[in-house]
Amino acid sequence: MSSTPLALFVGLPNPVLSDDGFALFRETNPLGLFVGRRNQREPAQTKRLIERFREAVGRDDAPVFTDQEGGRVQHLDAGPWPLFRSFGQFAELARRDFELGKRALRLSSQAMGAMMTELGLSSGCSPVLDLVFETTSAVIGARSFGPDPDVIAALGREVVDGLLETGNMPVMKHIPGHGRATLDSHKERPVVDASRETLIATDFKPFVALKDTPWAMVAHVVYSAYDGELPASVSPIMHDVIRNDLGYDGMLISDCIFMESLSGTLPERVSQVLDAGFDIALHSHGDVRETEAAARAARPLTDAALKRIAAGKARLGNLKVDVRAAHRQVEDMFASASVS
């Protein structure tokens, strides 16, 4: 096993790590694991799965991510875990009372972050900073804070800071913006034809405002004003736009390479992401055979990526939160503003 992890996140088909999977991860040393709803049944099982992955790669701090935004995208939605509200609902509260909305979102983010940190989960891949319009694909919907980039930036800040305070890594997505896409990048290749001037003034703006966020997930969306062929996640041009025009110097991980916006075999998709200059390819599905093929196509993390990872870790706090009490307090805030 190489001492430097591969620039790859892997996934699992089941709630347990098989012996074959354990052996593969021990041999290949992927940086991290992505666990979905299918992998998480209850706290003890989730903790054991995470521990077993970290045992396989020989790193107690190996990152383990999930999708935990709130609303319809929360993979901790079984067993004893509380259910959290969507960002769209927090935006509605903020429209009634902006300061109350921010306080409620900060507290909810702290509760969610503390819950994940206690389980051993490193991140819930949140917040979503995409704008939403009448034409936006339903894949975004209530995951967004709305159409106003300044409001998105202000509310997104509460999520980023709340998560960091509890030792959970924020990952802003989907940089540089999925909101103008009218197609679902899980199923098709969206093309955004807005001008550079429009994108800079709108979609890019929340990501620039929160460019100190340690991690960001890159969209599988074509921005024709910059690159008329390739989705951002596999485009060297868009890599340079994110790094230079948006000024983002944190970790850049692709959205899941299984999504149909990309083309080619899974190993080819891993290579495309890394060849474009991004730090990590996300391979969040797959069986042992597919994961092995993806791992063979990956390469060790760069020195720059290792430094970015260390810089992000240095910002994690250790705030302790009574998750259920905080969750109840958030619900009381919604009730006080008569928001259902």
User: HEC string of 49-60?
Assistant: HHHHHHHHHCCC
pLDDT in tens, the chain (340 residues): 668 999 999 999 999 999 999 999 999 999 999 999 999 999 999 999 999 999 999 999 999 999 999 999 999 998 899 999 999 999 999 999 999 999 999 999 999 999 999 999 999 999 999 999 999 999 999 999 999 999 999 999 999 999 999 999 999 999 999 999 999 999 999 999 999 999 999 999 999 999 999 999 999 999 999 999 999 999 999 999 999 999 999 999 999 999 999 999 999 999 999 999 999 999 998 788 999 999 999 999 999 999 999 999 999 999 999 999 999 999 999 999 999 8
Catalytic residue among 186, 227, 245, 249: 186
What lies within 8 Å, CB to CB, of 237 at 6+ separation is 226, 227, 230
Tokens in use for 7? 């620039």
Peptide bond into 127 cis (omega under 30): yes
Tokens in use for 231? 């989705």
CATH architecture classification, 6-337: Alpha-Beta Barrel (3.20)
The answer to whether 186 is a known catalytic residue is yes
* pLDDT for residue 2: 66
In what order do the strands lie in the sheet containing 6-10? Answer: 64-65, 30-34, 6-10, 280-282, 251-256, 215-218, 171-175
Tokens in use for 287? 């069986």
Catalytic residue among 255, 279, 285, 327: 255
Quote the crossing angle between the two packed helices 323-336 and 98-119, to the nearest 10°: 160
Tokens in use for 250? 């944190």
The answer to whether 255 is a known catalytic residue is yes
Quote the crossing angle between the two packed helices 98-119 and 149-165, to the nearest 10°: 40
